[in-house]
Amino acid sequence: MSEREPSSLWERLSEAGSLSDRWLHGAGASVNLANFARGSCLSAPLDELRDASVLLLTKDQLSSALALIELDGVAQRVVICPLDLQPEHLPGIIETAKIDTVVGGRCLGVGRFVRCSTAINPAHRVRRCCQRTEWVLMTSGTTGIPKLVAHTLCSLSTAMTGRDPLGAGAVWSTFYDIRRYGGLQILLRAMLGGGSMVLSSADEPVGGFLARAGATGVTHISGTPSHWRRALMSASLHKIAPRYVRMSGEIADQAVLDHLRAAFPEADIAHAFASTEAGVAFAVGDGLAGFPTEYLGRPGAVDLRVVDGSLRIKSSGNALGYLGGVPFPRDEGGYVDTGDMVEARDGRYFFVGRRGGVINIGGQKVHPEEVEAAINSHPSVRMSLVKARSNPITGAIVVADVVIKSPTEAPETETLKSEILQMCRATLARHKVPATIRFVPAIEVGASGKIARHA
Amino acid sequence: MLARAEIIAVIKEVGAEQGKHLAPLSDELGLLETGLDSLCFAIIVARLEDNLGFDPFGSAEDTRFPVTVGDFVKFYETASKNVGA
């Protein structure tokens, strides 16, 4: 595809296969793509949204998917808000991304407001691609303020090359929300590969989702190792019989790979590495944890290297950068530093954690500094060190070491613990609240004057 | 000898801390029907490791994940024998 001829998501999904037998299944409604070809999910004509800078605030995943399909190639920019976005971050995002249109959710009093519905309004119009729309995804930053990561349909679909030979009639699904990178990858794989998709819903119990995916005949399904461990605890797991099971977003350890192999003996089981900033790097299909060292320097679209222990990736799947002039972690050679630390053992690289102590809880990043700030706001606390403790259910949990200012004046330790936890619960998302607090006499401070964090 | 009561107590304690409404904990009850989510189970497993000194998930030879409350308790009981109490 040349630079002059952008091709929209709608055009590409239409070329990938017949529309009439393809569906997007939400938790509460389903949309047939042939029906969608004859109508719109938006309350405003598409022509009016040309060149718009859109904030996508849709509540459910089905309307998010429909809006993305309609807006790609039309809007200049679409900023995709995840479900758990804190409302206090909206004004900053609107300013940074120069938002002039809000689609879905509620009217914020910013520019134009367009409703988005899963009921398709009949509308005879041609979806004409007129530009390369910028897709903006969010990742969490050190201070809790989301970073805005810019992509295009091209960069998001680098890993997908044309029609998937296994894709005809494929029904994809993911435990992920499609408003995050990992979930969006699956939506695009389904749409560009000529398949259908079953979307998850935050309100739906795991058993209900598995039953719905199974009833729809899901063939390809992805999630984080934590999603899969939760599914393995469900009596409804046998309701799905996928040909392809994929893990990404967290370290896949040998135990979860073995559990999935036992649960789905016939399926291809792969674990992939991707990040919102660096894109998809690879998928490993040999059933073993880690990845072969020969992946580094092998010819192909994705170029990997390890510098100072962290994995770096150069590919057309890399994000364009952050909005708002935030420095992007790209080195002089054009490689994006993932911040994921690896160690080589016996011909394979194994992930050992994140630089700077960033903790991954079930696929969600937790910056220790943000949690420490919440703990340190307690008047009896001198300082704290927040770190990860490995966990077989969520990969890791947050734990904290706390130094008390004056042990003689501090309240009883149990009372103090519950006071600190209450402060954390009041200001932090649940997964960021420490699971355990330990009082220690001192915390090591490095030569830089910063807390010594070990990767 | 591992006290089943201890496991149930930790489940209830974490449920209360996390503001979850717990279903009556019978052996047949599915873990995902208890009212607890993954994060709750992550905390329960960590706390039981602190109290008991082992984590059966990390060392399980049986590749089947526990599905019911009864399975979960048995998972710990079996592992405590292997730890060589």
pLDDT at residue A50 greater than cutoff 60: yes
Candidates A264, A208, A257; CA nearest to A235 is A208
A109 with A66, same domain: the answer is yes
Find, in chain A, the residue whose alpha carbon is nearest to that of B47.
Answer: A436
- Domain range enclosing A368: 358-439
Q: Do A258 and B63 touch (CB under 8 A)?
A: yes
Run of H or E residues at A446: none
**Amino acid A1: pLDDT:** 43
Structural domains of chain B, ranges and CATH numbers in brackets: 4-82 (1.10.1200.10)
**Max alpha carbon distance in chain A (Å)?**
76
A372 with A331, same domain: the answer is no
A165 with A56, same domain: the answer is yes
Beta carbons of A367 and A141 less than 8 angstroms apart: yes
- What residue has token string 């730890």? B83
Q: Do B42 and A397 touch (CB under 8 A)?
A: yes
A305 with A435, same domain: the answer is no
> Strand A196-198 to strand A23-25: parallel, antiparallel, or no bridges (unpaired)?
parallel
pLDDT at residue A124 greater than cutoff 90: no
Query: Does some domain include residue A138?
Result: yes
pTM of the predicted model as reported, rounded to 2 decimal places:
0.85
A194 with A142, same domain: the answer is yes
Interval A153-170: pLDDT, tens: 999 998 776 555 566 689
- DSSP-derived letter for residue A432 is G
- Three-class DSSP category at A63: helix
Q: What are phi and psi of A359, to 5 degrees?
A: -105, 140
B24 contact A CB<8A: no
A279 with A302, same domain: the answer is yes
Query: Does some domain include residue A452?
Result: no
For residues A109-129, average pLDDT: 86
Domain boundary among A343, A377, A392: A343
SS (HEC) of A341-378: EEEEECCEEEEEEEHHHCEEECCEEECHHHHHHHHHCC
Find, in chain A, the residue whose alpha carbon is nearest to that of B18.
Answer: A430
Query: Does some domain include residue A301?
Result: yes
CATH number of the domain encompassing residue A379: 3.30.300.30
Q: How far is CA A115 from CA A55, A64, A126, A246, A404, in A?
A: 12, 11, 20, 34, 52
For residues A367-373, average pLDDT: 88
A255 contact B CB<8A: yes
Interval A9-25: pLDDT, tens: 999 999 988 999 999 99
Query: Does some domain include residue A233?
Result: yes
**Amino acid B80: pLDDT:** 80
Query: Does some domain include residue A445?
Result: no
CA dist., res. A12 & res. A33, Å (int) = 13
**Rounded-to-10 torsion of CA A232, A248, A340, A287:** 70
A110 with A227, same domain: the answer is yes
Q: How far is CA A455 from CA A313, A435, B45, in A?
A: 20, 20, 23
- Token pair listed for A421: 């936890």
Q: pLDDT-derived band of residue A307, with 50, 70 and 90 as boundaries? A: very high
Q: Do B57 and A205 touch (CB under 8 A)?
A: no
Residues of A in contact with B34 (CB under 8 A): none
- Token pair listed for A115: 């409703």
A233, amino acid identity: M
**Amino acid A271: pLDDT:** 96
Q: Do B30 and A207 touch (CB under 8 A)?
A: yes
A125 with A270, same domain: the answer is yes
Task: Give chain A's domain count.
Answer: 2
**Mean of pLDDT over chain A:** 90
A338 with A386, same domain: the answer is no
A362 with A338, same domain: the answer is no
**Most A CBs within 10 Å, among B14, B40, B47, B65, to test the A interface:** B65
pLDDT at residue B82 greater than cutoff 80: no
Which residues lie closer than 8 Å to A186 by C-beta, 6 or more apart? Answer: A172, A173, A174, A176, A178, A197, A220, A222
Residues of B in contact with A233 (CB under 8 A): 30-32, 41, 65-67
A373 with A329, same domain: the answer is no
CA dist., res. B35 & res. A134, Å (int) = 41
CATH number of the domain encompassing residue A294: 3.40.50.12780
For residues A220-224, average pLDDT: 95
CA dist., res. A61 & res. A69, Å (int) = 12
Beta carbons of A151 and A135 less than 8 angstroms apart: yes
Query: Does some domain include residue A352?
Result: no
B66 contact A CB<8A: yes
Q: pLDDT-derived band of residue A4, with 50, 70 and 90 as boundaries? A: very low
CA dist., res. B60 & res. A302, Å (int) = 36
